[in-house]
């Protein structure tokens, strides 16, 4: 009795239909999904916001050394989410991670610092 129930559970849990698994591919269609990209794991670095340019969707940040080898400097970043520009302000401190997206350094994650 118990053995049969166990087998039934194992089948239900472990048996994946190959046909269904192959359709798990539509992640391109919905852009709204906040899926975790690899860069979401990147360590946050310190930055000082110099200038927020909402119309251009860019922010000038004085940043510390980046994990990709970039030394500390002041430079312009794009942002992955335009709404972040509303949270940043000139002279504000942030911690952020940046990644190369479409040829531009883009802030992909950030938190405000007090």
Residue ranges binding Cu ion (CB under 5 A)? 70, 73, 75
Q: Least separation, in Å, of the C-beta of 49 and Cu ion?
A: 14
Q: Least separation, in Å, of the C-beta of 37 and Cu ion?
A: 20
CB of 10 or CB of 65, closer to Cu ion: 65
Copy the structure tokens of residue 5: 């129930």
Q: Least separation, in Å, of the C-beta of 64 and Cu ion?
A: 9
The string of DSSP codes covering 11-25 is: HHHH---HHHHTTTT
Q: Are 109 and 96 a contacting pair, CB within 8 Å?
A: yes
């Amino acid at each position: 009795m118990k053995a049969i129930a166990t087998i039934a559970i194992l089948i239900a849990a472990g048996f994946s239909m190959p046909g269904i698994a192959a359709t798990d591919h539509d992640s391109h269609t919905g852009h709204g999904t906040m899926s975790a990209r690899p860069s979401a794991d990147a360590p946050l670095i310190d930055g000082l916001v110099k200038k927020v340019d909402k119309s251009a969707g860019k922010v000038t940040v004085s940043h510390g050394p980046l994990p990709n080898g970039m030394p500390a400097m002041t430079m312009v970043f794009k942002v992955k989410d335009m709404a972040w520009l509303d949270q940043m302000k000139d002279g504000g401190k942030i911690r952020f991670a940046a990644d190369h997206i479409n040829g531009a350094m883009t802030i992909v994650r950030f938190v405000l610092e007090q």
